[in-house]
Amino acid sequence: MSFFSSLFGKKSSSNNKSQIKNVEMNEDRANTPLLHLKGKPDACGLYPGELVMLSLAEKYKTTETSFPSYLSYTYEIANPLNMLQDLHNRMFIDVGNAKDCLSGFKLTELKEIAVALNISVEGTKAEIINQLSAVSESALGALVKERTWKLTEKGTDALKANPYIQYFLEKHNYNVTEVGVNIWTVNEEFVKDSKRSYRDIIYGQLNKAMNDAFLQFQKDPALGSTATNRYCECYRLMGLFLEEDKSYVNASDMYFQYLFKKINIHAGLQLLANYKTFSYDKKFKETFINRYYEEIQLYPYQKTELLRLLDELNISGDAVRKSLSASFERAKDTGIMSVNEAADFIILELSGDVDQSRELAYKLAQKAVRKI
């Protein structure tokens, strides 16, 4: 029996006294919880927010006072300027020289500097920077007054020791924070065992989020669509996460499972629950039957993701239907649609034959509600 049916800084690093003081402070910070910093410190006493700021430090001038708002609402960095100064005091960053700042200038600004130094302004931005870098630091420094932060060796080592930080700063085709996996949850696990792959931690947390959602709506089907949507979305995220590792077979299987569970668990349970609740109203019942298609249709982003995975698998035509059916068979979550019906529906959607896919969804939804 399927689950469906059974369920229904200011100081220079060259100052020796500052170095001694900062080393002592680092040791104290590693053992002292700071109420204004969220998460757990690593072996160097750095919290996730500090590591984020450390990773971004070279983007900012030492005189910077305006920072993007996402630092606050995403990473809970209340005062980026103070944090940069503190990282400087603790020798994780230092003030860069004039050459370090060149990449932050606009092309027009670089040309002005080049003209002042009698250097050709022809070529790309990279070529002009390369020519300016050959100039002595003193000559360049006379024209370039502003400075940017620069990672020290200590700062570089700190980021290498916490690779999960960069993951959360990068752009992905998905967002694991939608199901509660974030920089703080990964930080907690990573601090416990820094030798463990952060990607293993993230995948494990996605799997846990999926299991938690499953238990939620299994225990109480009346919770509505929130838990079922979260359950299905975890499969999608795990699929796209595996795609980044080029594990295309497993990634595709997860994504196929996502589509099948969305058809039969998320949208299917929602249809039957609503239909039963409003069984007294014929108009409402018809509305829910029609709405079933709206819940399971493939949106452009889903088509893009699915076609990309199919392309990586190098399959097309009837092979697509066979792959979908084989994955759906393992799910054992038949409900509104059987394994083959769901495969046909997905193929119709991919082909753009919306009228037929809508008709198929409507017909099967009508068939399912008759059993209530």
Domains and CATH numbers, the chain: 9-96+148-162 (1.10.10), 106-146 (no CATH), 173-369 (no CATH)
Q: Which carries the bigger pLDDT value, residue 279 or residue 209?
A: 209
**pLDDT of amino acid 281:** 62
Q: Which residue has the tokens 């919770």?
A: 223
Residue 238, sorted as left (phi over 0), alpha (psi -120 to 50) or beta, turns out to be: alpha
Q: For residue 184, give the nearest of 49, 80, 24 by alpha carbon.
A: 49
Q: Is the dihedral of CA 341, 342, 344, 349 positive or negative?
A: positive
Inter-residue contact 189 to 159 (CB < 8 Å): no
Kind and range of the H or E run holding 204: helix 198-219
Over residues 310-318, the mean pLDDT reads: 93
The CA distances from residue 11 to 22, 89, 100, 110, in Å, are 10, 6, 19, 29
The DSSP output letter for 123 is S
- Displacement of CA 38 from its chain's centroid (Å): 19
Structure-token pair, residue 350: 């991919």
pLDDT at residue 164 greater than cutoff 90: yes
pLDDT at residue 26 greater than cutoff 50: no
pLDDT at residue 21 greater than cutoff 70: no
pLDDT at residue 349 greater than cutoff 90: yes
Predicted confidence band of residue 369 (pLDDT cuts 50, 70, 90):
confident
Q: What percent of the chain is predicted at pLDDT more than 90?
A: 63
What would you measure as the largest C-alpha separation in the chain, in angstroms?
86
**pLDDT of amino acid 20:** 35
- In angstroms, the first-to-last Cα distance of the chain is 17
Q: For residue 368, give the nearest of 279, 295, 294, 268 by alpha carbon.
A: 268
Inter-residue contact 264 to 342 (CB < 8 Å): yes
**pLDDT of amino acid 257:** 96
Q: Which residue has the tokens 């910070």?
A: 29
Q: Distance between CA atoms of 7 and 288, rounded to whole angstroms?
A: 20
Residues in the chain: 372
Amino acid at 365: A
- Displacement of CA 231 from its chain's centroid (Å): 17
Q: pLDDT tens digits for 177-217?
A: 999 999 999 999 999 999 999 999 999 999 999 999 999 98
State the angle between helix axes of 282-296 and 354-369 in degrees (0 to 180), rounded to the nearest 10. 130
Predicted confidence band of residue 125 (pLDDT cuts 50, 70, 90):
very high
**pLDDT of amino acid 316:** 86
Q: 198 Cβ partners below 8 Å, 6+ apart? A: 163, 164, 167, 186, 190
Q: Which carries the bigger pLDDT value, residue 32 or residue 356?
A: 356
Q: 18 Cβ partners below 8 Å, 6+ apart? A: 11, 12, 89
Q: 29 Cβ partners below 8 Å, 6+ apart? A: 41, 45
The DSSP output letter for 100 is H
* C-beta contacts of 122-128 below 8 A and 24+ residues apart: none
pLDDT at residue 1 greater than cutoff 80: no
Q: 338 Cβ partners below 8 Å, 6+ apart? A: none
Decide: residue 141, CB within 10 A, 0-12 exposed, 13-18 middle, 19+ buried: middle
**pLDDT of amino acid 70:** 95
Q: For residue 361, give the nearest of 340, 342, 333, 339 by alpha carbon.
A: 342
Predicted confidence band of residue 282 (pLDDT cuts 50, 70, 90):
low
Kindly report which listed range (47-56, 73-82, 269-278) carries the lowest average pLDDT score. Answer: 269-278
Q: pLDDT tens digits for 108-120?
A: 988 988 899 988 8
Q: 60 Cβ partners below 8 Å, 6+ apart? A: 67, 80, 84, 148, 149
The mean predicted confidence, pLDDT, of the chain is 87
pLDDT at residue 29 greater than cutoff 50: no
